[in-house]
Amino acid sequence: MPLSNREESSLEAGGHSKATQLLRRTDPGAPTFSTSTPPSNEQSLVRDVSAVENGSFEIPRVRSLTPELPKFRKFMALPLELRERIYELALYTGQAIHPHLCGRKANGAIKFHDDNQHSRQYPNHNAINKLLGVTYVSKKVHDESLPCFYSANTFSVGADTATYFAHLERMDRFHMIRHVSFSIPLRDGKWTAQSLEQLTTYLKNVEIYERDHPLTEPYLITPTSREHGMVCGAEVYTNLVQHPRHLAGGLNDMALFICLDMLSSAFNSSSNSEKYTSSIVLPVPSASEFTSYPRLQWFSYVLHGLGIHLHFVEGYELAYNQKAVIGIVWHQKFQKKDFKQVSKKEDAGNVTKRVKDMFPDMELAERKVCNSCSYMRTSCDGNRYTWFTVKH
C-alpha cells in the first residue's frame, strides 16, 4: 500500500524507529531495525584515552586518494617480438639524430650528443644518455634494447656523422643502423668535376693516413658506463679525430658522399661493363624524374665517378622538397647491406681514370675552383670555435 505524504514526511524525520513502525504497518513481515543512541563526545574521548592507556588503541586506516600506479612484473615473460616493439617505442626520439662529437671523457669514453636536442639556448647535452637509461637495467635488457635504439631512429648526415659511423663500426654496432637521412642540393653540372676532385684528394689522403697510422688498440667494453660508449686509449681517439674523414666531413658535399660510400654494399651483377665496385639503393618517387632533372644529374655523375652504382626504388615520397635541396632517407631494408662483408672500395687511381673518361676534354687538375676550403666547428657548449682547412 503506498504511503501518504504525511507518512513519508515522518519517515524522513523520524530515523530508524519510525521507519520500522511504518514498514511493519505496510508489511507485517518486515524486519525490525534496532537503533542505539550514539555516544557523546565526552564518552568517545574517555573511551579513546582508556584504549591508549591499555595499549589497545588502533589508528584508523585512512584510504589514500592517490591512485596506485599499475605494475607489471612479468615484462621479461613477454615474447621477444613484443618486448622489442616496446623498446622501440621507448627509445624513439621523435626526430632525426644529428651526431656531434663531444670528445674523449676523463674515463676514456668517446661520447657523441644529438645536435637536434642540444643547443646553446636550450642545453640538453645528455638527452640520448637519459633516453638510453633502460639499457642499463640488466645485461639481457641491454643486449635486447640497444639494437632497437639504432633501428628505430633515423640518423641525419652532418659534419660528424661519418666519424660517428666509424666509431660504431669499431664497436660492432654499425650494422644496427636502419635509417639515414641526407640532403641533396640542386646544382649545375659544373659541380661534378669539382666534387670528384675533392673526393679524389680525400681518397688519396685516406690511403696515406691508414698506411702510416695503423690502428691496433682495441676498444674496452664497459657496459656500466653512463657515457654509452667504449673506453678507449688516446691512440683510438686520435685516430678518430685526425682521420681524413673527420676533417673532410665538415664540408657538406664531402660528408654526403663519404656517408653514402659507407652505407653502400658490394655491387654484384653479371654484366658490370662500368666496373662498379659498390651500389647504393635510394627510395624516390620516380627514377626517370630524378635522373632527367638537370640540377640533380651532378649527384648521379659523382656516384658514377666513385664507382658506386645508383639504384632506385620507386613509389616513395621525398623526406622534404625545398627550393634548392631535396631530402631522402636511406633504408637498410632496401639496401640489404651485408655489414660483415668487406666491400671493395674504389681507390684514388681508379677514380681519376673514371673521371678522365667522363670528362675527356679537360684535365681534372684544371678544374680547380680553389685550392682549399675552410669551415668552422663549434664545441658542445657553443662557446668555442675551431677552424679547419681542407686542401684539394
- What are 312-369's pLDDT values in tens digits? 999 999 999 988 999 999 999 999 887 766 556 677 788 888 877 877 765 544 445 5
Q: Are 182 and 327 in contact (CB under 8 A)?
A: yes
Tell me: the pLDDT tens digits for 299-325? Answer: 999 999 999 999 999 999 999 998 899
User: 3-state DSSP call for residue 330?
Assistant: strand
Q: What angle do CA 217, 222, 227 make, to 5 degrees?
A: 100
Q: Domain of 354? A: 79-391
pLDDT at 22: 46
Tell me: the pLDDT tens digits for 122-172? Answer: 778 888 988 999 999 899 999 999 999 999 999 999 999 999 999 999 888
Residues 6 and 105 in one domain: no
pLDDT at 48: 59
In a domain, 316, yes or no: yes
Grid look-up 646553446 returns 120
User: How many whole angstroms separate alpha carbon 92 and alpha carbon 149?
Assistant: 7
In a domain, 177, yes or no: yes
Residues 177 and 244 in one domain: yes
Task: Using the predicted structure, report yes or no on whether residue 240 has a pLDDT greater than 50.
Answer: yes
Using pLDDT thresholds of 50, 70 and 90, give the confidence band for residue 14: very low
pLDDT at 228: 46
**Number of domains making up the chain:** 2
Residues 96 and 22 in one domain: no
Residues 127 and 255 in one domain: yes
Residues 156 and 224 in one domain: yes
Percent over 90 (pLDDT), the chain: 41
Residues 322 and 247 in one domain: yes
Residues 22 and 158 in one domain: no
Q: Which amino acid is at 80?
A: L
Residues 158 and 85 in one domain: yes
Using pLDDT thresholds of 50, 70 and 90, give the confidence band for residue 189: confident
Using pLDDT thresholds of 50, 70 and 90, give the confidence band for residue 226: very low
Tell me: the pLDDT tens digits for 200-212? Answer: 999 999 999 999 9
Residues 103 and 208 in one domain: yes
In a domain, 54, yes or no: no
Tell me: the pLDDT tens digits for 92-114? Answer: 999 999 999 987 666 667 888 89
The alpha helices in the chain, defined as continuous H runs, are: 5-14, 16-26, 41-54, 80-91, 127-131, 139-152, 161-170, 191-212, 234-242, 244-248, 252-263, 287-292, 297-305, 332-335, 348-358
In a domain, 70, yes or no: no
Residues 12 and 115 in one domain: no
User: 3-state DSSP call for residue 99?
Assistant: strand
User: How many whole angstroms separate alpha carbon 230 and alpha carbon 282?
Assistant: 32
Residues 83 and 26 in one domain: no
3-state helix, strand, coil in the chain (%, to 5): 45, 15, 40
User: How many whole angstroms separate alpha carbon 249 and alpha carbon 257?
Assistant: 9
Percent over 70 (pLDDT), the chain: 71
Task: Using the predicted structure, report yes or no on whether residue 283 has a pLDDT greater than 50.
Answer: yes
User: How many whole angstroms separate alpha carbon 300 and alpha carbon 310?
Assistant: 7
In a domain, 7, yes or no: yes
Q: Which of 269, 84, 81, 243 is nearest to 164 (CA)?
A: 243
Task: Using the predicted structure, report yes or no on whether residue 187 has a pLDDT greater than 70.
Answer: yes
Beta strands at 179-185 and 320-321: parallel, antiparallel or unpaired: unpaired
Residues 98 and 175 in one domain: yes
